[in-house]
Amino acid sequence: MLATLPQRRARLVHLHRQRGASLLEAIAYLGVAALVVLAAVSLLQNAFGSARSNQTTEEITGLRTNIHKMYAGQPYNDTAMLANLITAKAIPGTLTVSGGNTINNTWGGTVTPASAVAGTFTITYTQMPQDVCMNVVSGATGWTRIAGAADATPIAVFPAPAASAAALCSAASNTVVFTAD
């Protein structure tokens, strides 16, 4: 059965009104979408920052463990410590070896293990970002000393108090020297 003319007009008017979103609806949609994207980016940045801190802690701890294994029962007074670690492939995989005698970290800084005084060794980690430095230093255990900024007091009590870690990691890019025996 055919619809009458007024019925067809009513249907066309109804379809015409439902044709799309208004400008206000589009603006509201874009605003909500922007908020969702900003929240996701913020969460991802926090997750990546935490992952970088964990990776750095694992790198430093892995080097310390490998040095202990390599020099078990021997003094650390070896001038070729870095070369020996590279030859033994005892460098964590997240660090890169360049030029055959330099270890680089994620931020383009160097990581230098070396023998020190009185049966100790150091691992010097350069260009460590401030947020990563704070997390690594405040959560560090198993070290005899951690030093950093020239004007900061070295840390010898672990876990390090947050105020001490903040003083040691005061720059945007930090050099931290971990000492172990």
Q: What is the pLDDT along the chain (181 residues), one digit of tens a residue?
A: 566 766 766 666 655 555 566 788 888 888 888 888 877 777 666 656 567 888 999 999 999 999 999 988 888 877 888 998 999 999 999 999 998 889 999 899 999 999 887 789 999 999 999 999 999 999 899 999 999 866 778 999 988 999 999 999 999 999 999 999 8
Task: Please tell me the predicted confidence (pLDDT) of residue 168.
Answer: 93
Distance CA 132, CA 50 (A): 8
Which CATH number does 21-180 carry?
3.30.1690.10
Burial of 180 (0-12, 13-18, 19+ CB in 10 A): buried
Report domain extents, the chain.
Answer: 21-180
Q: How far apart are CA 114 and CA 120, in angstroms?
A: 9
Contact between 61 and 142 under an 8 Å Cβ cutoff? The reply is yes
Beta-sheet strands, E only, within the chain: 96-98, 102-104, 111-115, 121-129, 145-147, 173-180
Name the residue type at position 47.
A
Task: Report whether 174 contacts 128 (CB < 8 A).
Answer: yes
Nearest to 156 by CA among 172, 168, 171: 168
